[in-house]
Amino acid sequence: MTTLVIGNKALSSWSMRPWVMMRTLGLTFDERLIRLDEPETRASIKDESPSGLVPCLIEEDGTTVWDSLAILEYLNDTRGGVWPEDGALRVHARCASAEMHSGFSSLRGTWPMDLTTEGARLAVPFGVRRDLARIFTLWSEALSRSAGPFLYGEFCGADAMFAPVVTRIKTYGPVAMPKACEDYLETVWTCPAVTEWRAGAAKEIEAGWYPR
Ligand SMILES: N[C@@H](CCC(=O)N[C@@H](CS)C(=O)NCC(=O)O)C(=O)O
């Protein structure tokens, strides 16, 4: 069976992306969770993933895909359904996903995904504000082209890429944004795959993984 190697559900934003996509596509896969920030984390991940990072998808035939966006592209090639069918929407979705993958470093660095601290209400420094403004522009463009409820209509790879932005805003916000973006935020936060991921994070908290 296909295996997806991931990190903690409360913390690993890059793992969340392919996981929610695979769940939404209804794919059957084994999940192998390696706890981050433990003395043996690096060695355990290195046994599975050539980059020493999660996520990493491993097929039964040994095919190994070790990067979140590469996993989405691989899933699209092998299973289909990751990107919108409409060509213009597909280009936009891929550009938005690439921009998320390579950019928004202030948002990612200052507001790390952390589902253990819901309601943390951090300050919104300039870099975060600038990144969020660009993200809301992207979301607004996509939603006006597709009419929602997800960025390009149905849940697709771009929604998976932005899902950890939704959780960050839920954790550290509120943040003012256009109404269409607010609706989108709730759509992602409550969709089945993201709800299931959050339930997994809640179990980690209950199990005492994050002592205060
Ligand atoms: N560009 C990579 C980034 C992967 C990444 O940074 N993963 C983090 C967890 S979210 C990791 O594996 N960290 C290993 C560690 O903390 O030892 C991707 O898109 O998959």
pLDDT of residue 7: 98
Q: What is the dihedral of CA 167, 51, 104, 188, to 10 degrees?
A: -30
pLDDT of residue 2: 98
* C-alpha of residue 54 to centroid of ligand 1, in Å: 5
Q: pLDDT for 1-32, tens place per residue?
A: 999 999 999 999 999 999 999 999 999 999 99
* C-alpha of residue 146 to centroid of ligand 1, in Å: 31
Give the helix/strand (H/E) hosting 23. Answer: helix 13-24
Residue with CA nearest ligand 1 atom 5: 53
Residue with CA nearest ligand 1 atom 10: 12
pLDDT of residue 175: 94
Sign, Cα dihedral of 68, 92, 195, 75: negative
pLDDT of residue 212: 77
pLDDT of residue 165: 98
Q: How far apart are CA 33 and CA 159, in angstroms?
A: 22
For the chain, the structural domain boundaries read 3-81, 87-194
Cross-strand partners of 33 = 6
- Taking 50 as the pLDDT cut, the residues of the chain under it are none
Which of 32, 34, 45, 54 to mutate for ligand 1's pocket (most ligand atoms within 8 Å of CB)? 54
pLDDT of residue 127: 97
* C-alpha of residue 135 to centroid of ligand 1, in Å: 21
89 in helix, strand or coil? helix
Q: What is the three-state SS of 62-81? A: CCEECCHHHHHHHHHHHCCC
Query: Topology of 3-81 in CATH?
Result: Glutaredoxin (3.40.30)
Pocket of ligand 1 (CB under 6 A): 7, 12-15, 36, 41-42, 45, 53-55, 67-69
pLDDT of residue 123: 82
Residue with CA nearest ligand 1 atom 11: 53
**Under 8 Å between Cβ of 89 and 152:** yes
Asked, colleague to colleague, whether 3-81 and 87-194 share their fold, the answer is: no
Closest ligand 1 atom to residue 55 Cα is 20
Query: Topology of 87-194 in CATH?
Result: Glutathione S-transferase Yfyf (Class Pi); Chain A, domain 2 (1.20.1050)
Dig out the tokens for 100 from the structure.
């998320």
* C-alpha of residue 88 to centroid of ligand 1, in Å: 30
pLDDT of residue 119: 78
Closest ligand 1 atom to residue 101 Cα is 19
Cross-strand partners of 150 = 153
Q: How far apart are CA 43 and CA 87, in angstroms?
A: 42
Amino acid letter, 77: D
